[in-house]
Amino acid sequence: MYSYIMRRLVLMIPTLFGIMLLNFVIIQAAPGGPVEQMIAKLEGFEINAISRIGGSSSAEVQQFSLDESGEYRGRRGLDPELIKDIEKLYGFDKPAYERFFLMVGNYLRFDFGDSFFRDAKVVDLIVEKLPVSISLGLWSTLIIYLISIPMGIRKAVRHGSKFDIWTSAIITTGYAIPSFLLAILLIVLFAGGSYWNIFPLRGLTSDNFDDLSTLGQLMDYAWHMILPIFCMVIGGFATLTMLTKNSFLDEIHRQYVQTARAKGLDEGKVLYGHIFRNAMLLVISGFPAALIGILFTNSLLIEIIFSLDGLGLLGYEAAINRDYPVVFGSLFIFTLIGMVIKLIGDLTYVMVDPRIDFEARG
């Protein structure tokens, strides 16, 4: 097992390198950049996200593109020396391949540099935003698993019953509702939109959080988290519940289950002593992807709608503003965390079913 873990850890190095190289090429090929951003500000206007999405919706965007020699064409009257200074400031005075290998060398030392447009280090920004995304991701994942797994088991045991039919209808309906649309509806209904002002509209804590008692702080934190977590959880039930149900249904009809029942074991021991260990393998295999997806993908719109300053919002703003150190630094950290969690998921396989031997597969 230890040699398998070491192989996986070693394999992370070329995987990280390949992912960073691919994204570096894609981002370099995209129109716009930090130099263009700075030139636009000096000229008194900024290029927003809509103009980027449209490619080049105005003549100004065209005027900040690269010429045939690979240098920026500024507007008439802008000092070329100033443009060269801006390029040097952001490292664009070097060829693309040199910038990439310099970035990789820094990342191997976990030096992610400074943000182009925020007066802070990339690591400090990520650490600052991390608690928000962790709060959303961990609580959402925990609630989804605590509810979906028992429900999936019960649906499998009572397959075809009214309980199975009604719960399937409910979770499918919840899955069909987009989380951002549900968030807007909840704000309108319960956050002072048009009806009741029961829950807060933004943030993780109130302004007087530091003045509250420990119990008061816990209650205030839970009060702020109810609506965002509900929006993230409601759409996550369907996949996991149906996966659990189908896994148990597949195992229930196997020969070893019939043998266990023929030996006189009660249904509880058959279900949780024999079926559970095998049926849960598929559920466990999806945990790393589910956690990463909730932490860094599903939370984006929720963070924006509820004004939660987390990693999703940070990554979105960095991509829009072409803040390359934040984009690549967060990508590197997220990818590394994802691969580590995937390895932990494989190790959990062995904990659930000791018969699994990754060494034999190698």
User: Which contiguous run of DSSP H or E holds residue 347?
Assistant: helix 324-352
- Neighbour tally for 271: CB within 10 Å: 20
The total of other beta-carbon atoms located within 10 Å of residue 9's CB is: 12
Two tokens at 95? 């060829």
Residue that wins the pLDDT comparison between 177 and 349: 177
Give yes or no for residue 66 having a pLDDT over 50: no
φ, ψ for residue 242, nearest 5 deg: -70, -35
User: For position 61, what pLDDT does the model report?
Assistant: 41
CATH homologous superfamily, domain 124-361: MetI-like (1.10.3720.10)
In terms of pLDDT, which residue wins out, 260 or 125?
Answer: 125
| Helix, coil or strand: residue 77 | coil
Domain boundaries, the chain: 12-111, 124-361
> Residue 56 — pLDDT band, cuts 50, 70, 90?
very low
- The alpha carbon of residue 180 and the mean position of all alpha carbons in its chain are separated, in whole angstroms, by 15
Per-residue pLDDT tens digits for 101-144: 888 888 888 888 888 878 788 888 888 888 888 888 888 888 88
- pLDDT, position 297: 62
Residue type, 261: R
Least confident among 86-100, 121-135, 187-201, 344-358: 344-358
For residue 361, pLDDT over 60 is answered with no
Question: Is 38's pLDDT higher than 80?
Answer: no
How sure is the predictor about 57, in pLDDT bands with cuts at 50, 70 and 90? very low
Write down the pLDDT at residue 54: 41
| Per-residue model confidence (pLDDT) at position 79 | 66
Q: Which two tokens stand for residue 228?
A: 């965002």
pLDDT of residue 120: 84
- String of DSSP letters for 45-73: ----HHHHHTS--SHHHHHTSB-TTS-B-
Average pLDDT over residues 144-150: 87
| 50 vs 95, higher pLDDT | 95
3-state DSSP call for residue 159? coil
**234-245 average pLDDT score:** 82
